[in-house]
Structure 1
Amino acid sequence: MTITGIAAIGAGLAAIGAGMGIGRIGGSAMDAMARQPEIQGKIQTSALILAAFVEAVALFGVVAALIV
């Protein structure tokens, strides 16, 4: 296996991890909103910020894997 193949595997794992993380954030936010609808705005804002952080880490992982 070449270094390009290993980099592709690393980039794929970073993308899979990001998808799983955002899915968990979204699911937990929906559960929280169903339990306490009066604070829906705060939960939604927090979920969007957390999703942005997960995407940033995943993008860093993909770039780092492809640079190697």
Structure 2
Amino acid sequence: MTVLAEISGNVNTIGYGLAAVGPAIGVALIFVAYINSSARQPESAGYNRTWLVLGFALVEALALFGLVLAFAVN
């Protein structure tokens, strides 16, 4: 029997790919909330931008933890 296709690699990369979906949705929700709040009250956009950057950094930190753990656990 001949092998037509072979999947090689580590299961950790598949796990990280699935784990990256959560932070991606989180970043999208953060930016949607910022756009909605800026559209409703444009004068508070500067104040809300601080929370936007903080929320974005925290959610992206979760994605980076997942990336590190995907390579560290082996």
TM range (shorter): 0.7 to 0.9
Among 57, 65, 68, the alignment partner of 2:70 is 65
Alignment deviations for residues 27-68 of structure 1 (CA, whole Å, 9 cap, x no partner):
111001111111101111101110011001110011112211
Identity over the aligned pairs, expressed in percent? 40
Q: Which amino acid aligns with 1:60?
A: F
Matched, 1:10 2:15: yes
Alignment deviations for residues 1-22 of structure 1 (CA, whole Å, 9 cap, x no partner):
9881x20112112322221111
Q: RMSD in angstroms over aligned alpha carbons?
A: 1.9
Among 55, 58, 68, the alignment partner of 2:60 is 55
Of structures 1 and 2, the larger Rg is shown by 2
Where 1:45 maps in the other structure, the secondary structure is helix
Matched, 1:41 2:46: yes
Give the structure-1-normalised TM-score.
0.84
Give the structure-2-normalised TM-score.
0.78
Higher RCO, Cα 8 Å, sep 6+: 1
Among 25, 30, 39, the alignment partner of 1:20 is 25
Greater helix fraction, Structure 1 or Structure 2? 1
